[in-house]
Amino acid sequence: MPRLAPALILAVSLAGCGPDYSPNTYASSAVQQANKVEQGVIVGVRRVGVAAGGTTGAVAGAAAGGIVGSQVPGAGVTIAIGAVGGGLIGGLVGSGIDKGLNDTTAYEYIVRKANDEMISVTQRDASSMAIGQHVLVIAGNQARIIPDYTLPPEPKPQPYFPPQQTETAPAPPPVASEPLFTPASVAPPAPEPATAKPPDPPPPPIERQPTPATPPPP
């Protein structure tokens, strides 16, 4: 049993080096890589569980168990059986430790992109992002979504069209209109005074001619 303790310590140490599902952590192979970025809006979110595969712990435990098992006293077949048995036991122990340490929870986000296409990204966050939040979808081997921190695009300059000169007909002369009523403040003109007509002169006297005398009959 004392010889098994270093194997368990090694298995625990290697199993604890599990993957990091945080969007703020990049693997060394993902650094200095050009990834496609698209804008979108979160339309759904839920909490999910992430199960570790246990491969790292199994390999580490099997290797450590094999080393310890090969140190069993004896020779030949005894050493081989001890190595196989130690590797089997170490692999089982390491796999269990790996799953116990690296099983975690994460958030599954449904994002609608600008072209109405929807995608899902699962990652581990301290707290989930809200539905309706604008985010950036970063593609690649480690796809992730983060809050949109980009600047809005600058408006495009509008083309300038000079105003077109059009010939307009001259305005007609104003038409003088007479008022329909006389304002009360304007008095009508006073009538001219009537002048007396002088009487006609009397007709001239008629001169009568004397009647000639009629001679007596013979």
Ordered by start, the domain boundaries in the chain are 4-18+35-147
The two three-digit tokens of residue 151, written as one number: 């600047």
Between residues 108 and 176, the one the model is more confident about = 108
Cα of 197 vs its chain's centroid, Å: 103
Average pLDDT score over residue span 13-40: 79
What pLDDT does 43 receive? 97
pLDDT of residue 4 exceeding 50:
no
Find the length of the chain. Answer: 218
SS3 69: helix
Helix locations, the chain, DSSP H: 4-15, 55-69, 77-102
Average pLDDT score over residue span 64-77: 52
What pLDDT does 35 receive? 92
Between residues 209 and 30, the one the model is more confident about = 30
Between residues 126 and 63, the one the model is more confident about = 126
CB 30 within 8 A of CB 141: yes
Residue in this structure with the two tokens 């001259």, named with its chain if needed: 170
Lowest-confidence segment of 20-24, 87-91, 107-111 by average pLDDT? 87-91
Burial (CB count within 10 angstroms: exposed 0-12, middle 13-18, buried 19+), residue 48: exposed
> Which candidate, 46, 30, 51, places its Cα nearest to that of 139?
30
What pLDDT does 182 receive? 57
Per-residue burial over 173-209, b if 16 or more Cβ lie within 10 Å, else e, is eeeeeeeeeeeeeeeeeeeeeeeeeeeeeeeeeeeee
Q: What is the 3-state secondary structure (H, E, C) of 3-48?
A: CHHHHHHHHHHHHCCCCCCCCCCCCHHHCCCCCCEEEEEEEEEEEE
Paired residues of 41 in beta bridges = 112, 134
Over residues 135-184, the pLDDT tens digits come to: 999 998 889 999 999 998 888 888 888 888 777 778 888 877 666 655 55
